[in-house]
Amino acid sequence: MTEPTDPPEPTVPAGPAGPVEPAEPAADLMVRAEQVHKSFGRLEVLKGIDLEVRPGEVMCVVGPSGSGKSTFLRCINHLEKIDSGRLWVNGHLVGYRESGGKLYELRDREVAAQRREIGMVFQRFNLFPHMTALENIMEAPIRVKRLPKAGVRDRALALLARVGLDDKAQSYPAQLSGGQQQRVAIARALAMEPALMLFDEPTSALDPELVGDVLEAMKQLALDGMTMIVVTHEMGFAREVGDSLVFMDEGAVVEKGTPREVLADPKHQRTRDFLSKVL
């Protein structure tokens, strides 16, 4: 579906850095992970992830099922707590406050405030089924940011138009195809004006003929300068839109480089094995 048309120019202009706190480390990076470890009980899922994402970068993450890709994304917006290491988003330490060499857990409210900077798109869309597409998009800006309804509505309609669904504003999720639902989900995340967007296999649950529209919406977003981390098996998208490609296996980053380097000339045997299966 997503024919890898020859990449025109993979470098996306670096977008303006978000609001930064001068004292914090890694202020010039959108995401910085340092030795991130995460276990579920005895199972160590992330075994020391080191990664950096610049503002405006589109990073694609590939790897076999169970390698910890989803868990890493969920750590970035603190849906999971990390066990050790450090994780910064937009200059803020995720989930903790560091003061006097000590870490303090953030309150629920502070965690929620951090998550507003991060949009997340799920494999199974997770739209709110009791709300129309428009209501799905308007919910968080109205309830969380407490913005006036009229303005939110106009912006929501504009976002729907941007993902090509201006005629579906009043449809409930159950009345939409998977591809349409996923595009509403993207619009819903964008409505909070995040500095960073996380995509967890956004097209894996879709029928093949619906994948293209979603990838197109994501490509537009990338061209607009959004910082994105995309877990995907769509190598065409990675090659065309991605600035960097990360191969994860068994909870570790095995290889990282530009998509062209990694796809054309993988350095590690594990990467080669994996790519030979998906390409």
Ligand X SMILES: Nc1ncnc2c1ncn2[C@@H]1O[C@H](COP(=O)(O)OP(=O)(O)O)[C@@H](O)[C@H]1O
Residues that bind ligand X (CB under 6 A): 40, 43, 45, 63, 65-71
Question: Looking at beta carbons only, is 70 or 90 nearer to Mg ion?
Answer: 70
The residues with which 53 forms a beta bridge, in sequence order, are 31
| Structure token pair of residue 268 | 């590690």
CB 116 within 8 A of CB 191: no
Position 172 contacts other proteins (CB under 8 A): yes
Position 134 contacts other proteins (CB under 8 A): yes
CB of 123 to Mg ion, least distance (A): 7
Position 215 contacts other proteins (CB under 8 A): no
CB 61 within 8 A of CB 248: yes
Q: What is the DSSP letter of 206?
A: S
CB of 66 to ligand X, least distance (A): 4
- Measured from each CB, the residue nearest to Mg ion is 70
| Structure token pair of residue 104 | 């303090």
Q: Burial letters for 169-197: b for 16+ Cβ neighbours within 10 Å, e otherwise?
A: bebbbeebebbbbbbbbbbbbbbbebbbb
| Structure token pair of residue 130 | 């009791």
- Here's the x/- map for other proteins, 60-79, by CB under 8 A: it reads as -----------------x-x
**Binders of Mg ion among 60-89, rule CB under 5 A?**
70
Question: Looking at beta carbons only, is 71 or 90 nearer to ligand X?
Answer: 71
The radius of gyration of the chain from alpha carbons, rounded to an integer in Å, stands at 19
Site of tokens 């649950």: 205
CB 71 within 8 A of CB 38: yes
Considering Cα of 37, then 41, then 44, then 46, what sign does the dihedral take? negative
CB of 216 to Mg ion, least distance (A): 23
Query: Of other proteins, Mg ion, ligand X, none, which one does residue 202 interact with (CB within 5 to 8 Å by kind)?
Result: none
CB 137 within 8 A of CB 183: no
Contacting residues for 130 by C-beta, under 8 A, at least 6 apart: 172
Give the separation between CA 152 and CA 145, rounded to whole angstroms: 10
Question: Looking at beta carbons only, is 129 or 264 nearer to other proteins?
Answer: 129
CB of 279 to ligand X, least distance (A): 18
Query: Of Mg ion, other proteins, ligand X, none, which one does residue 91 interact with (CB within 5 to 8 Å by kind)?
Result: none
CB 191 within 8 A of CB 138: yes
Position 132 contacts Mg ion (CB under 5 A): no
Number of residues engaging other proteins in binding (CB under 8 A):
35
Question: Does an H or E element contain 16, and which?
Answer: none
Segment near other proteins (CB under 8 A), from 135-143, 211-219, 222-230, 248-256? Answer: 135-143
Question: Looking at beta carbons only, is 46 or 142 nearer to ligand X?
Answer: 46
Position 35 contacts other proteins (CB under 8 A): no
Point out which residues bind Mg ion (CB under 5 A): 70
Point out which residues bind other proteins (CB under 8 A): 77, 79, 108-109, 112-113, 115-116, 118-120, 122, 124, 126-132, 134-135, 139-140, 143-144, 170, 172-175, 185, 188-189, 192
